[in-house]
Amino acid sequence: MALAKARKMNPRQLASDVLARLDVREWCDRVELAGGGFLNFHLRPTAVAQTLQSAARGEHLFFEPAAAPRTVVVDFSSPNVAKPMHVGHIRSTILGDCLARTLRLLGHRVITDNHLGDWGTQFGKLLVGWKRYLDPAALQTEPLVEMERLYKRVNDACERDSTVLDAARQELVKLQAGDPENRALWQRMIDESRHQFDAVYGRLGVRFDHTLGESFYNPRLKAVVQDLVARSLARASEGALVVFFDELPELKAHPAIIQKSDGAANYTTTDLATLAYRLETWRPDEIVYVTDARQQLHFKQLFAVFRQWHPEARTKLAHVWFGSILGEDGKPFKTRSGETIRLADLLDEAEERALAVVTEKNPELAEAQRREIARVVGLGAIKYADLLPNRQTDYVFSWDKMLALNGNTAPYLLYAHTRIGSIFRKGGLEGPTSGKATDAPFPLNAPEELVLGKQLLHFGHVLEAVAEEYRPNYLCNYLYDLAGLFARFYENCPVLKAAGPDRAARLSLCDLTARVLKQGLAVLGIETPEQM
Ligand code: ARG
């Protein structure tokens, strides 16, 4: 349709011209012209069978590594230090991890960087709090909770008492000037924070190649500002240094401040220095930033300044933003008493609730085993619930929904995966007959077999679409459909009771479905237990 429009042709005419020159006999029984200019391709079952067979031989799993691998930096999670990670950090962490995994699977060179907020004006207040009100015992047990308390206490005091605000400013100036005591305390706060963050990342199975953090770029900020001024891209305005976007209608009313009137650099300056460093160091083809929707303007400004600053750079810059998590009352997700929910508590609760589900399904399993399965199911449920909705819409956090065994959930998919495993166990088969059944015929006589086979063939397209549009929900929906088609196939086509080539082909379909489910879930960051 789009081609016809560009060529000012009748779409049906264009379609019939294409059809006339098309030679797809190898893969298609027929191609028919339909409607206003559609081409419907009818795949030959033998072509589908061939692809399934080569997958069964282990030659591929319906996707191919990129012909031209790209270097992609994924900037995600990036919490601010000295505060517990809360539910708001989960989306960036889970989404970013999934995108990194997808790109890696497709053969790209992926560099993950946790851009911690480890520098900024909050440290003035934190230092005052640490020096005046620190409770060492509380620091021992829950360091981030203690630091958050200190911050809040001083922040409140600042509102009432300007001498406290002055004290905070002085501590900040000393820190920035490299005062040894303040530097050491600041470092301590970062170490404590990172220790806590790492515990959460460990549970989520998320790892980073780098955690450079904002402070890493401090020594580079001056040069960024100077360069932008020297190139006449930034100019003085009301004491600050500002980049204006007169040519960009969308940003005309939103100039970017790169140096505040007090001479301090800001979030934008730091991100510019970060971009320049990444370009120099890794020469990426693409940089992906995963943050919430509220940072859209920041990234539009950042990218716009960068394009003026480095017009030669071909690097694709993408801001992958997401909506909020809501409680069942439709308001931002909070605890019953109205506090923000700590991520560690949320993960504990997920495992606890999943234990009930697992126990119901499998009361005879030993407790340790049930707990291990519950860990995978609980964390999987949270991740899946986060990846399933269109990332740009807000979603309602619901334990009942995400832990349901029926519906588009992680427990459903994990259960579907274990059921396939049990087919092999029941048949006394180690696993599939892969490798052996190389050239045996692969009949796809039942319609349910053919539909399932075609769905398997789509896996690679779906992975590519996820990487292209940064949308893991495509993969979630694909896996859910796959599990549904498998269930229909299994209802209608006996596997262990079949004989000869039918049995071999059906066992292969079972095995390939299990492998695609497992690989797909792995890309979503979800482990797959053998039993559930
Ligand atoms: N620390 C920021 C926050 O918590 C997110 C940083 C995102 N990455 C970046 N390069 N700006 O909002």
- Residue 523 token pair: 């890309």
Strand ranges (DSSP E) for 92-190?
A: 109-113
Rounded mean pLDDT, 356-377: 94
pLDDT band, very low/low/confident/very high, at 434 (cuts 50, 70, 90): very low
Rounded mean pLDDT, 16-44: 94
User: What Å distances lie between residue 314 and 279, 283, 285, 311, 424, CA to CA?
Assistant: 10, 10, 7, 8, 50
The finding on whether 125 has its CB within 6 A of some atom of ligand 1 is: no
Long-range contact pairs involving 195-200 (C-beta distance under 8 Å, separation at least 24): 195/143, 196/84, 196/85, 196/143, 196/144, 196/344, 197/79, 197/85, 199/344, 200/85, 200/343, 200/344, 200/347
pLDDT band, very low/low/confident/very high, at 1 (cuts 50, 70, 90): confident
Secondary structure element (H or E) that encloses residue 435, with its range: none
Residue 438 has pLDDT above 80, yes or no: no
Amino acid letter for position 65: P
pTM of the model: 0.94
Percent residues over pLDDT 70 in the chain: 98
- Residue 428 token pair: 């006394």
Say how far apart CA 196 and CA 84 lie, in whole Å.
8
Residue 387 has pLDDT above 80, yes or no: yes
Q: 336 or 181, which is more confident? A: 181
Residue 174 has pLDDT above 70, yes or no: yes
Say how far apart CA 203 and CA 382 lie, in whole Å.
12
pLDDT band, very low/low/confident/very high, at 483 (cuts 50, 70, 90): very high
Say how far apart CA 156 and CA 174 lie, in whole Å.
22
Rounded mean pLDDT, 273-286: 98
Q: Which of 118, 197, 295, 302 to mutate to test the pocket of ligand 1 (most atoms within 8 A of CB)?
A: 295
Mean pLDDT computed over every residue of the chain: 94
Residue 401: closest CA among 415, 414, 386, 422: 386
Secondary structure element (H or E) that encloses residue 318, with its range: strand 316-322
Give first-to-last CA distance, the chain, whole Å: 48
pLDDT band, very low/low/confident/very high, at 435 (cuts 50, 70, 90): very low
Strand ranges (DSSP E) for 371-509?
A: 395-396
Residue 290: closest CA among 470, 468, 474: 470
Q: Look at residue 15 in the predicted model and tell me its pLDDT.
A: 95
How far, in Å, is the centroid of ligand 1 from the Cα of 74? 12
Rounded mean pLDDT, 379-388: 98
Q: Which of 115, 272, 305 to mutate to test the pocket of ligand 1 (most atoms within 8 A of CB)?
A: 115
pLDDT band, very low/low/confident/very high, at 111 (cuts 50, 70, 90): very high
Which residue owns the Cα nearest ligand 1 atom 1? Answer: 117
To the nearest 10 degrees (0 to 180), the angle between helices 162-176 and 143-160 is 130
Range in 226-240, 335-349, 513-527 with the lowest mean pLDDT: 335-349
Which residue owns the Cα nearest ligand 1 atom 8? Answer: 115
The finding on whether 75 has its CB within 6 A of some atom of ligand 1 is: yes
pLDDT band, very low/low/confident/very high, at 432 (cuts 50, 70, 90): low
How far, in Å, is the centroid of ligand 1 from the Cα of 266? 12
Q: Look at residue 436 in the predicted model and tell me its pLDDT.
A: 53
Query: Backbone phi, then psi, for 110, in 5-degree steps?
Result: -110, 135
pLDDT digits (tens, 9 = 90+) for 62-99: 999 999 999 999 999 999 998 888 887 899 999 999 99
pLDDT digits (tens, 9 = 90+) for 141-172: 999 999 999 999 999 999 999 999 999 999 99
Q: 189 or 339, which is more confident? A: 189
Q: Look at residue 340 in the predicted model and tell me its pLDDT.
A: 84
SS3 for 32-80 is EEECCCEEEEEECHHHHHHHHHHHHCCCCCCCCCCCCCCEEEEECCCCE
- Residue 186 token pair: 């600041």
